[in-house]
Amino acid sequence: MAVVAAARPFAFSFDVGSTALIVIDMQRDFIEPGGFGAALGNDVAPLARIVPTVARLIAAGRAAHIPVIHTRECHKPDLSDCPPAKRGRGAPSLRIGDEGPMGRILIAGEPGADIVPELSPLPGERVIDKPGKGAFCQTELGAYLQELGIRSLIFAGVTTEVCVQTTMREANDRGFECLLATDATESYFPEFKTATIDMIRAQGAIVGWTATTADIGVALRG
């Protein structure tokens, strides 16, 4: 068993052979100006700043030969998998499916829906396109993890309180042991990131554990 001794609220033990890294939605649409995140009125700069840390976590996962799984929040070009309730939410300058500077917003195959080039998946790494905030909703993720025999999940990506937290909660309810890399996730709202990290590990890890990328890397290296 590997152990992240400095994890909170207490040490996180995991078997490297049944652990996967899930990198949530590190897409240009959330991280670069002109995408969905910016259209919602957010400053995307804080999200861009975690890219090197996420890259280090991915490198540690690859070196430990654990599956690295990438997700992308995006929709079919005909929007048949985008509920009107999602598209109509808020008052964004550009809605899902509208033409923006990086192509149609949050549409599969458009440049904005791509993962940022620094974090490009390697051939053989699974990329899960998801229409919801949670990565288990209407995707093959659950079946894929079962096929691999995965029991523990390490999480990174954006945004902490939306797609990362939703997916961790889905995973926790499905019986996975979940660990969030606190410096490899970010929110447009610093106070939401802090609150999410606190609520995940509260009540004896009610949703999961948290730890830094460096401490997770040490445990992965064994």
- φ, ψ (nearest 5 deg) of residue 187: -130, 160
Least distance CB 160 / ligand TIU (angstroms): 8
Name the minimum Å distance from CB 189 to ligand TIU: 8
> Smaller CB distance to ligand TIU: residue 129 or 215?
129
Q: Point out the catalytic residue in the list 29, 74, 82, 163.
A: 163
Q: Which residues bind ligand TIU (CB under 6 A)?
A: 25, 30, 40, 73, 133, 158-159, 162-163, 188
* DSSP 8-class letter at 64: T
Could you confirm whether 25 is annotated as catalytic? yes
Is 74 known to be catalytic? no
Q: Nearest approach, Cβ of 183 to ligand TIU (angstroms)? A: 17
Output 160 or 210, the one with its CB closest to ligand TIU. 160
- Provide CB contacts within 8 A for 4, sequence distance 6+: 11, 12, 14, 179, 209, 211, 215, 216, 218, 219
Closer residue to ligand TIU, CB minimum distance, 188 or 209:
188
Nearer of residues 9 and 46 to ligand TIU, judged by Cβ: 46
**Separation between Cα atoms, residue 126 and residue 220, nearest integer Å:** 20
Minimum CB separation from ligand TIU for residue 25, in Å? 4
**String of b and e for 177-209 (b: at least 16 CB within 10 Å)?**
bbbbbbbbbbbbbeeebeebbeebbeeebebbb
| Phi, psi of 188, rounded to the nearest 5 degrees | -75, -15
Q: Which residues have a catalytic role annotated?
A: 25, 130, 163
